[in-house]
Amino acid sequence: MRRPNSFQEPQLPLMDPAPAVPAMMAPVAGRVPSYIKDHRKRLRDRFMSGGAAAMPDYEMLELVLFRAIPRADVKPLARALMDRFGDFNRVLSADPERLKEVAGIGDSVITDLKIVEAAAHRMARSRVIDRPVMSGWDAVIDYCHTSMAHRETEQFRVFYLDRKNILIADEEQARGTVDHVPVYPREVVKRALELNASALILVHNHPSGDPSPSEADIAMTAQIETAAQVLGLTLHDHIIVGKSRELSLRAEGFI
């Protein structure tokens, strides 16, 4: 009697294991766990009763993250963002590509962060646009700080004013690197003529955090002032925005 041929099951190719999903982003089956719901309610109640002053930066981030990540504990992600970027404002203003480097950050989170950033800028801008600038100088400084203090690269902007010193345009003229931004005085004054402006304020930021003017800053300001005077324009000031304070070149005697 012949023995049956031995049979061996074919070997299937091994597959790579599925990439691990960060615990903070893992989906939760069924309802949201009660401890997460309770934590979120406590934060929301504290915010509504005490405002932002009652919340440390990482908890403010948690409140923003609740909408984009509705079914998970977002505290570890808020802490990770704080560790990476330093504070709430720098998280909001961070470049989307850098945000994506943090585990657990996806498009929905980035969108919500950028919406909050845009809302803050728009509210600050509403306090200065179409209003007399020289009588509302504190609002101008607040707007400059909100929109520029936490940027990671230099930005050069010009506020154009009419004869009554009402702000008629706020325009970005150039973006640069972490320590340099190209500025063309001829383009600055040319744009003033196009807008029928009578005066201007220069603004740029120092990502290093120190608003002290460089020799290049002082020289560029002098060039724009000279070009403006030739055309009958007034250069009111050049504001340099640092992380925690701003510096006026006029107050420092450079204009």
Q: Are 154 and 226 within one domain?
A: yes
pTM over 0.85: no
Q: Are 238 and 189 within one domain?
A: yes
Q: Are 136 and 244 within one domain?
A: yes
* Confidence (pLDDT) at 179: 56
* Confidence (pLDDT) at 145: 87
Q: Are 118 and 185 within one domain?
A: no
Q: Are 53 and 101 within one domain?
A: yes
Q: Are 59 and 149 within one domain?
A: no
Q: Are 163 and 205 within one domain?
A: yes
Distance CA 124, CA 104 (A): 30
Residue 21 resides in a domain: no
Tokens of 209: 């955090």
Residue 12 resides in a domain: no
* Confidence (pLDDT) at 178: 58
Expressed as residue numbers, the domain containing 73 is 33-122
Mean pLDDT in order along the chain per 10 residues (255 residues): 47 43 46 81 90 87 91 91 89 89 92 90 77 77 85 89 91 71 85 94 92 92 93 94 91 91
Distance CA 203, CA 142 (A): 12
CATH number reported for the structural domain that contains residue 188 in this entry = 3.40.140.10
- Report the domain count for the chain: 2
Using DSSP's 3-state secondary structure scheme, residue 59 falls into helix
> What are the helix (H) ranges across 149-233?
185-194, 215-230
* Confidence (pLDDT) at 23: 46
Residue 195 resides in a domain: yes
* Confidence (pLDDT) at 25: 45
Q: Are 143 and 112 within one domain?
A: no
